[in-house]
Structure 1
Amino acid sequence: MSEQQNDENWERETINKLAFAAIQEQRRARRWTLAFRGLVLIWLFSFLALLIVGERQASIEIGTHTALIEVRGVIADDAEASADNVITALRKAFKNDHAAGVILRINSPGGSPVQAGYINDEIVRLRSKYPDKVLYAVISDICASGGYYIAAAADQIYADKASLVGSIGVLMDGFGFTGTMEKLGVERRLLTAGEHKGFLDPFSPLKNEEVAHIKKQLDNLHTQFIDVVKNGRGDRLADDEKLFSGYIWSGEKSLELGLVDALGSSSYVAREIIGAEKIVDYTVRPNILDRFAERLGASMGKSISTSAGLESLQLK
C-alpha cells in the first residue's frame, strides 16, 4: 500500500472517529437535557402538590382555636363568596370540636339574593344543630345589602366605627337607548312568543304595566329581606322608619340603630369574646391550579347572554 493510500485511510478513520464522538456527545447532551427537564417537572409538581395539600389542610388544626370564614367581595354563584364556598366552610367550622367559636368576617357590597338566602338559611340550621357554638359576624369595610342579609343570621354582629352597614333594599338597574336610537335612525326589531317576553328591553320604550309588575316583584323580595333582618335581630332593632329604606350607615350609627351589637375587630372578638386568640382560617379558596385556570379563562374573554336585564337584580 502506497504512502498516499495510508494517508487517505488515516484521514478517513480520523473523520469517522470525530463524527462518532460528535454523535455520542449530542446523545449525552440530549440525555442530560431530558433528565434536567424531568427533574424540573418533578420539582414543580411536588411544589404544587405541597401548596394544594397545605391549603386543604388549613382548616384541620389541632387545639382550641377560633374559626374564621371570609365573605369577601360580591356574593354570587361564580364568585369566591358563593353559597357553596361559604356553606362548606361553615359546616367544617361548626363540626370541629376544637373550634371554640366561629367568626364570619364580612366585607361585601352585596350581590345575589338567592346566594345570600342560602347562606342565611344554613347559618340558622347550624346554630340550631350546634347550640353551644356561637357565630359572630364581624364587619370590616362594608356589609351592605346581601352582606347584611347573611350577617343578620349571626348570634352577634360586630363592626368598626367607620364600617358601612345596611342598604336593606333591592334594586334592578339598566339603561334605555330609545332616544339615542331615534337620533341615529336605528329601528328596533324584537320578535317574541309571549306577550311580555321582551319586557324591560333596553331598546324598547317602557310600558307602565310591565314596570308595575317588576316593582311588585322587587317589593316582594324587599319584604323577604326585611323579615330575615327582623327574625335575626329581633327587638335589638331601633324603631326607625328609615331602617329598611336602603340607606347605609356608619358602624357607630348602626350600633344606635341596633344593626350591630358592639364595635370590635376579628382579633378582638376571638381574644376577648370567644376566648380563643388563635385564629384558623376555614375560608374555601381556589387552589393554585384552579386560580391559574381561572386567570387563563379570563384572559381568553367571557361571553355572557341574558334576557330582560334580569342579571342586574341584586341586593344592594
Structure 2
Amino acid sequence: MSDMDPDSRAWKELRRVMDVAFVEQRRSRRWGIFFKLVTLAYVTFLIVAVARNASFDEWSEADGGHLASVSINGTIAADSDASAEVILQGIAAALEHPGTRGVVLDINSGGGSPVQADRVWRGIQRLRGEYPDTPIYAAIADIGASGAYYIASAADEIYADEASLVGSIGVVSSGFGFEDAAKKLGVERRLITAGTNKGLLDPFLPLDKAQVEHWQRVLDGTHEQFIDRVKSARGARLVEDDNLFSGLIWNGRQALALGLIDGHLSPAEIADENLGVDRVLDFTPRPAPLERLTRQLGASVSASFNQLQGAGLRY
C-alpha cells in the first residue's frame, strides 16, 4: 500500500497533527477575542469615568445646580462598599462641588458595624460645620435599620417610602455553642490564655455568668451611645414611646408617626420639592471590580468568623 493512501499511517498522523493545530488555532483565537473584549470593557469604563467627572465639572451653579446622591447599600463594614471611608469620601466630594444644592444619602441597608456607623455620623457633623448652607438628607429605600438608621439620623431630614423598614435601634451579638456537640464527637477543646477572661464567650466552653454579665454591659453601653446619637440629632421630633429604642422595626408610616422620619419622598422628589432642581447626580465612589470583590470577600469572611466567635457587635 502506498504512503499516499488516505488510510496509511502517515496520512493518519498528518490528519492528527492538522486537527491538533486547528484546535490550538481556534483556542488561540478565542483567547484573543476574550482579551480584546476585556481591554475594550476597561477602556470603556475609563472613558465613562472621565466623561462623568468632566460632566460634573461642567454642571455648575449657572446651570441651576443639582442634588448630589451618595449610596449606602448592603452591610456597613470596614472592608465593604459601605465603609465609613467610602461614604464620607462621597459626601465630601458632593459638598465640594459648586453645583451641589443638597446631598442625599440614598440608603438601602440593614446595618452593620457600630464603629463604621459612628465614624460616618461624626463625619457628617464635621462636614455640616464646613458647609452649613448645604442641607443633607437621608432617603431610605427598602430598609434603613440599625447602623443604617444611625447614619441617617445625622441628616437634617430623613425620608422613606410608606413601606420602607425603619428603626431597629438596638445592638446584637450572636454566636453558637458547640460544647455538647464537641463532647459527642469526642473533640477536646485546648485553650491556653494569659488573662482570666481572654477566652470570653468561647463557643466550645460553657457560658460563664460573670462574662455574660460583662458582655451585656458592653452591649448596653453601645446601645446608649446609639440612643444618644439619635436623640441629639432628631430632638423634639421624636415621640415618647417605650418601644422606640427597644430594637423594634417599623414601616414608613409608623416611623413617621414616631418622628423617626420626616416624610415620604424619594431622592428625585427631594430634589424637586425641597430644592427646586431637576437633576440628581451620583457621587458614590466606585472601586475597581477587583477591589470591590476583595472587599466583599473580606467583609463576608470577617462577619462569618465573628458570628462563630460570638464576639462581634452589630447594629
In structure 2, the partner of 1:194 is: 195
CA separation of 1:135 and 1:207: change in aligned 2, threshold 3 A: same
Cα distance in 2 for partners of 1:299, 1:123 equals 28
Cα distance in 2 for partners of 1:255, 1:243 equals 12
In structure 2, the partner of 1:176 is: 177
In structure 1, the partner of 2:47 is: 50
Q: Answer whether contact 2:174 2:307 (CA < 8 A) is retained.
A: no
Match of 1:172, SS state, is coil
Letter in 2 for 1:50: I
Residue deviations 1:233-279 (CA, integer Å, cap 9, x gap): 00100000100000000000000000001111111111111111111
Q: How many residues align?
A: 276
Letter in 1 for 2:215: I
Cα distance in 2 for partners of 1:71, 1:87 equals 11
Higher alpha-carbon Rg: 1
RMSD: 2.7
- Following superposition, the deviation at residue 131 of structure 1 comes to 1.5
Match of 1:141, SS state, is strand
Alignment of 1:52-131 (within 5 A): 52-54=49-51, 57=54, 59-62=56-59, 63=63, 64-131=65-132
Cα distance in 2 for partners of 1:163, 1:224 equals 25
Match of 2:123, SS state, is helix
Q: Answer whether contact 2:141 2:160 (CA < 8 A) is retained.
A: yes
- Following superposition, the deviation at residue 59 of structure 1 comes to 4.7
Q: Answer whether contact 2:79 2:296 (CA < 8 A) is retained.
A: no
Q: Answer whether contact 2:135 2:156 (CA < 8 A) is retained.
A: yes
Match of 2:250, SS state, is strand
Task: Give 5+ residue unaligned stretches, structure 1.
Answer: 1-32
Match of 2:240, SS state, is coil
In structure 1, the partner of 2:309 is: 309
- Following superposition, the deviation at residue 230 of structure 1 comes to 0.1
CA separation of 1:184 and 1:231: change in aligned 2, threshold 3 A: same
In structure 2, the partner of 1:134 is: 135
Alignment of 1:1-316 (within 5 A): 40=36, 46-54=43-51, 57=54, 59-62=56-59, 63=63, 64-286=65-287, 290-292=288-290, 294-295=292-293, 309=309, 312-315=312-315
- Following superposition, the deviation at residue 46 of structure 1 comes to 3.8
Q: Answer whether contact 1:86 1:283 (CA < 8 A) is retained.
A: yes
Residue deviations 1:39-90 (CA, integer Å, cap 9, x gap): 9597666434324434555754513111111111110111111111110111
Cα distance in 2 for partners of 1:168, 1:296 equals 30
Cα distance in 2 for partners of 1:170, 1:299 equals 24
- Following superposition, the deviation at residue 120 of structure 1 comes to 0.5
Q: Answer whether contact 1:108 1:147 (CA < 8 A) is retained.
A: yes
Cα distance in 1 for partners of 2:75, 2:217 equals 25
Cα distance in 1 for partners of 2:269, 2:56 equals 21
- Following superposition, the deviation at residue 185 of structure 1 comes to 2.3
Letter in 2 for 1:267: A
Letter in 1 for 2:253: E
Cα distance in 2 for partners of 1:246, 1:224 equals 14
Letter in 1 for 2:224: T
TM-score normalised by L of structure 2: 0.80
Match of 1:142, SS state, is strand
CA separation of 1:303 and 1:96: change in aligned 2, threshold 3 A: closer
In structure 2, the partner of 1:24 is: none
Match of 1:66, SS state, is strand
CA separation of 1:246 and 1:265: change in aligned 2, threshold 3 A: same
Letter in 1 for 2:314: Q
**Bigger Cα displacement from structure 2, 305-314 vs 108-117:** 305-314
CA separation of 1:256 and 1:118: change in aligned 2, threshold 3 A: same
Q: Answer whether contact 2:154 2:233 (CA < 8 A) is retained.
A: yes
Letter in 1 for 2:309: G
CA separation of 1:205 and 1:249: change in aligned 2, threshold 3 A: same
**Bigger Cα displacement from structure 2, 266-275 vs 240-249:** 266-275
Match of 1:103, SS state, is strand
TM-score normalised by L of structure 1: 0.80
CA separation of 1:123 and 1:207: change in aligned 2, threshold 3 A: same
Cα distance in 2 for partners of 1:81, 1:166 equals 18
Residue deviations 1:109-151 (CA, integer Å, cap 9, x gap): 0000111111101111122221111111111100000000000
CA separation of 1:170 and 1:60: change in aligned 2, threshold 3 A: farther
